[in-house]
Amino acid sequence: MSTEKLYDVILSPAITEKATIASEYNQVVFNVARTASKPQIKKAVESLFDVKVTAVNTLVRKGKIKRFRGMLGQQSNVKKAVVTLAEGHSIDVTTGL
């Protein structure tokens, strides 16, 4: 898989309180493409960050309905991947690639 396609699978790291707590358990949370499968996510993370992945769990956060200036709007659905890394491996998501 080419490097461009790997960046199409992994969109961005998810920087939230829950993701920060998960980092204590050797887990990293990424926003991924809606069409990405678990093997594709695992391959992308391993090749981009040079780490060993033991598990990939995915979830789809449904978009919320929000009100802006009196008009209703719909946020987009977001697919997230919780990637568990092997012991001794780590990813610093605060630095760029």
Distance in angstroms (rounded) separating the CA atoms of residues 84 and 55: 5
pLDDT of residue 4: 82
Q: In this structure, which topology does domain 3-85 adopt according to CATH?
A: Alpha-Beta Plaits (3.30.70)
pLDDT of residue 96: 58
- Give the sign of the dihedral formed by CA 91, CA 93, CA 95, CA 97: positive
Q: What are the residue ranges in the chain where pLDDT is below 50?
A: none
Encoded tokens for 31: 């926003």
Distance in angstroms (rounded) separating the CA atoms of residues 27 and 85: 6
Distance in angstroms (rounded) separating the CA atoms of residues 47 and 14: 19
Distance in angstroms (rounded) separating the CA atoms of residues 22 and 77: 22
The pTM is what?
Answer: 0.86
